[in-house]
Amino acid sequence: MLLWIAGSSDYTLDFITVGSVKNNRGDADRYGPDHAAGNSALSRLSPARHEVLDVLVSQSEPVTAHDVAYALHQHHNTIREHLDGLRRVGLVVRMKGPAIGRGRPPWFYSATQAARDEGSANDYVGLAAALAGQIARTASEPIVEAVDAGRHWGQSLSPIKEAGPSKSSEELVFTLLDDLGYSPEFNSETTPDGDTHLRLRRCPLLAAANENPEIVCGVHRGLIEGALASQGSQQLDVELIPFAERGACALHLRRAESSQA
């Protein structure tokens, strides 16, 4: 059996935005949101268990602990402990193989669908970074094209379409961002002008934004605008302030009439 171990990339987390959005980086004080996967079972794994899980995710069929140990050049007992730990958090399943000779049937291990779905996040971020880089290098107006791409993305997403017409525009934006992993929350310090203020405590594309901040955050802006447009809710002006406070970026949704006052 041939084992292939997929490589992975590490990214520095950061966030910034532009255009109809204010720039307030504040990197040194660690302002801004956390990475979106920060509270998942996958994100809490040790590097050693990440390596074991990467081997299983890369396989099309279940493999034994000996197979994983051989791929990682580690002792079988060490790998088996890691596999048991991964089973306890629901990222790996174990099944008995057919009996061979007089010995006991071997155990085979496979990554669960949840592990495969979460494990694809690194590929998603890598793809986002690559596309953002391509826009930055080749587009005549990179920010304009980034916002336009975000609008098309927002118009195509099902969560906001399925939310129904009974929700307000602000609630639709909240639902969309919550489904996408931004962990939004309404800011209790709202102003009496009818505007809505949200805190975005997580962001799935922080790594890509670090590489091409203007492009990625232009996409974020377009995402919200496109989602609103798909519901016929175009009366809101969108303002995103990155690193507005420790632990969150700020999103302001202003009624068109109040923004013109």
End of a domain among 82, 101, 119?
119
- Note whether 108 and 156 are same-domain residues: no
> What does the pLDDT average to over 45-63?
87
pLDDT digits 0-9 by tens, 163-218: 455 678 888 888 888 777 788 898 876 556 678 899 888 777 777 777 787 888 88
The structure tokens listed for 202 are 């997580």
- Note whether 127 and 111 are same-domain residues: no
Determine which helix (DSSP H) or strand (DSSP E) holds 238, and give its type and residue range.
strand 236-245
For 34, which DSSP code?
Answer: E
End of a domain among 74, 90, 119?
119
Spatial distance between the Cα atoms of 158 and 14, rounded to a whole number of angstroms: 28
- Note whether 69 and 181 are same-domain residues: no
Angle between helices 76-88 and 47-57 (to 10 degrees): 90
Q: Residue 171: what pLDDT?
A: 84
- Amino acid identity, residue 92? V
- Note whether 75 and 157 are same-domain residues: no
Using CA atoms of 63, 113, 209, 202 in order, give the dihedral in degrees to the nearest 10: -130
- Note whether 63 and 133 are same-domain residues: no
Residue 37: CB atoms within 10 A of its CB come to 17
What's the sign of the alpha-carbon dihedral 72, 66, 59, 110? negative
pLDDT digits 0-9 by tens, 57-114: 888 899 999 999 999 999 999 999 999 889 988 889 999 988 777 778 899 999 998 7
Instruction: Read off the CATH number of the domain in which 82 is found.
Output: 1.10.10.10
pLDDT at 134 over 70: yes
Spatial distance between the Cα atoms of 53 and 38, rounded to a whole number of angstroms: 18
Q: Residue 194: what pLDDT?
A: 72
Burial track 157-190 (b if 16+ CB lie within 10 A, e otherwise): beebeebeeeeebbebbbbbbeebbbbbeebeee
Phi/psi for 239 (5° steps) reads -130, 125
Q: What percentage of the chain exceeds 70 in pLDDT? A: 70
Phi/psi for 252 (5° steps) reads -110, 125
Q: Residue 65: what pLDDT?
A: 95
- Note whether 108 and 233 are same-domain residues: no
- Amino acid identity, residue 132? A
Q: Which residue range(s) make up the domain with 189?
A: 27-39+121-259
* Count of all residues that appear for the chain in the document: 261
What is the count of structural domains for the chain? Answer: 2
End of a domain among 66, 84, 119?
119
